[in-house]
Amino acid sequence: MTKRSKFGKFLRAVIATPIEAALYIPERISMRHECHASYESDPNWEVRLHRCLGAPWPCPERTKLDVLWRDIASELQTQGLRLGRQTYGEYSDAEISLARAVWCSVLHQRPSVVVETGVARGVTSRIVLEALNRNDRGHLWSIDLPHPFEKNLHAQTGAAVPDSHRRRWSYIEGSSRRRLPALLRSLAQVDLFIHDSLHTARNMRFEMEQTLNALAPGGIMIVDDISTHQAFANFAQDFPSLETIVCPHSDRAGSFFGLVHKPA
Those residues whose C-beta lies under 8 Å from the C-beta of residue 191, and which sit 6 or more positions away, are 109, 111, 112, 113, 114, 138, 216, 218, 219, 220
Give 133-161 pLDDT, tens digit per residue: 999 999 999 999 987 667 778 888 999 99
Whether 13 has a pLDDT exceeding 60, the answer reads no
What percent of the chain has pLDDT above 90? 75
Whether 170 and 187 have beta carbons less than 8 Å apart is answered as no
Q: The whole model's pTM is what?
A: 0.91
Burial of 108 (0-12, 13-18, 19+ CB in 10 A): buried
Q: What is the mean pLDDT of residues 224-230?
A: 94
Strand ordering across the sheet containing 190-195: 169-173, 139-144, 113-117, 190-195, 215-223, 256-261, 243-248
Report pLDDT for 37: 81
For the chain, the average pLDDT equals 91
How confident is the model over 244-253, as a mean pLDDT? 92
Residues 6+ apart with CB under 8 A from 203: 27, 176, 177, 197
H/E stretch holding 24 reads helix 18-30
Given a cut of 90, whether residue 164 has pLDDT beyond it is yes
pLDDT at 100: 97
The arithmetic mean of pLDDT across residues 67-84, rounded, is 95
Higher pLDDT, 169 or 24: 169
Longest dimension (CA), the chain: 55
Beta strands in 21-123 (DSSP E): 113-117
Q: Where are the domains positioned within the chain? A: 40-261
Question: By C-alpha distance, which of 162, 164, 171, 108 is closest to 140?
Answer: 171
Q: Which CATH number fits domain 40-261: 2.40.10.340, 1.10.1040.10, 3.40.50.150, 3.40.50.2300?
A: 3.40.50.150
Residue-level pLDDT at 205: 97
